[in-house]
A and B are shown apart, each in its own frame.
Chain A
Amino acid sequence: MNLKQYFADIFNGVKSLATGMKVTGGYFLRHHKEKITEQYPDNRDTLVLAERFRGEVVMLHDENNEHACTGCTACELACPNGTIKIITKFDISPEGKKKKAVDTFIYHLELCTMCNLCVEACPTGAISMANTFEHSVFDRSTLTKQLNKPGSKIRAGVE
């Protein structure tokens, strides 16, 4: 009885190994049909990233170089890492009224954790997340960016 069990164990053991090898062997024969590895730097032209992918914060500008940022600093307050710093100025409107406006929108990409809280906080939808991801640079000072383009101004009608 013990001897019988002994050989049965050996047989079942070898059988279980063969079952596993069958799976591996199957992949060996048909691996060329189901390649899932992406050859990243080579496939940059065809690479499709999810449209919601959070890569960096950008400020949306239209064709007239106008944005919707009022300089209310809601994003600056919402940011958990101190990534955003807004320097405001006072614009004088044609009627002679003083109005607060954004002078420099500073964004520290090196501090950002892409949590999307600033975009959620923005009351006018001025900023959004872009799905770029190749942020490697040689000098970290270039990661501190000014998001409002030079010469841009607030779009008329945005309060």
Chain B
Amino acid sequence: MYRETDIIQTIPGTDEMVINVGPQHPSTHGVLHLVLTINGEIVKKVEPHIGYIHRSIEKMCESLTYRQFIYSTSRMDYLAAHTNNHACAMCVEQGMGIEVPLRAQYIRVLMDELTRIASHCLWWGSIAMDCGAVTPFFLAFREREMINTIMEETCGARLTMNYNVPGGVMADIHPTFQQSVKDFVRHFRSKIDEYDELVTGNIIFQSRLKGVGKLSKEDAISYGCTGPTARASGVSCDVRKHFPYEIYNQIDFKEITHTAGDSYARYLMRLAEMRESMNIIEQLIDNIPEGDYLAKTKAVLKLPKGEFYSRVETPRGELGVYIVSEGGTTPYRIKFRSPGFSNLSALDHMTRGHKIGDLVAIMGTLDLVIPDIDR
């Protein structure tokens, strides 16, 4: 067949050849290595090779205590560190039977939704860049910067927050938090319309995405896709709706689904999610109840013997945390079910028969974060 070290290799007896995209390639958003079998411009097969940024976080967690292991999950999906920490903290709370104070639940949900907007902002900038437009990237980063500043004020860090601890959150919200979030939502409501004007209606952008990378509902289910990728194909899979955690069952919000299943549906899906996140934030921001932000817990956390699973909806889909405990202070085994890994597995199916340029656009709409796939 072919050797991976060869950049281009022809397959004898056919017109097809094998080329490597990545691991160092700007369009793969990280160290993802794709081995393409192409016939001219037509993609025949895509083989993702992963492992270039594997840090064995799951194995590392086995030697860390239940308080310590949460920080390392910030490094998985670094654009949604807060939701990762949230899933881990929830799993430990479930095992310990810790009741989280209502105030902490509100703060956690607010932070989750802010994270979702920040992550989708970055995605919106990068999908436009993948399709050849550079301006949107700067516009998206301007809004993302505002959220990063809010995170910096309250959590103390911009990306790797480590704000969730078992039992609540690490610190109370900053006195200016509510005002800055309200300012941000007001600002972003006008700017997201500008996003639509600039990119959504654009004829070049539409013809790059419409009808490209179709994923049927059945395929989305069988590949295990979650998040906006699956909801754009009509699969109703929002964890916030179906398995509500924290206070999501008291919030009035819609689960957005599209039926087209193409790249454009996935694009519209995420824009609509940003608007829905703003609705959630507006409902909560004025009603944060008074009280403790952290429940009283023992100094040393010991999970009882057994298996615990918790899941949250991250910007990319469902993140599951599975802890097997032997009753000690460290987990016996931890498994993270990351959304990016399953969504990536559908890439081959979606890309076959399309042009190489479309591969980049399809990968963009999947919103892949490579450290989340590799862990």
Contacts and interface: CB of A to CB of B under 8 A. Distances in A.
A116 B68 contact: no
B157 A16 contact: no
Contact of B156 (A20, A36, A50): A50
Interface residues of A, number: 26
B204 A17 contact: yes
Interface residues of B, number: 31
Contact of B72 (A17, A78, A80, A116): A80
Contacts of A52: 152-156, 171, 174
B156 A53 contact: yes
B202 A54 contact: no
Contacts of B69: 80
Contacts of A78: 67-68
Given A16-B202, A117-B71, A23 B194 contact: yes
Contact of A54 (B135, B145, B156): B156
A113 B72 CA distance: 9
Given A50-B153, A53-B152, A113 B198 contact: no
Contacts of A23: 194, 197-198
Interface of A: 12-14, 16-17, 19-20, 22-24, 36, 49-50, 52-54, 78-80, 113-117, 120, 129
Interface of B: prevailing SS: helix
A14 B204 CA distance: 10
Contact of B203 (A13, A22, A50): A13
Interface string B152-193: 111111001010010000110010000000000000000000
Given A24-B135, A78-B68, A80-B68, A19 B201 contact: yes
A53 B174 CA distance: 12
B283 interface: no
B254 interface: no
Given A50-B152, A53-B157, A129-B156, A20 B201 contact: yes
Contacts of B68: 78-80, 117
Interface string B22-34: 0000000000000
Interface in B49-77: 64, 67-69, 71-72
A116 to B, nearest CB: 6
B210 to A, nearest CB: 13
B152 A20 contact: no
B292 to A, nearest CB: 15
Given A14-B203, A20-B199, A80-B71, 20 more contacts: A17-B202, A19-B202, A20-B197, A20-B202, A23-B197, A23-B198, A24-B135, A24-B198, A50-B152, A50-B174, A52-B153, A52-B156, A52-B171, A53-B157, A80-B64, A113-B160, A117-B68, A117-B71, A117-B162, A120-B170
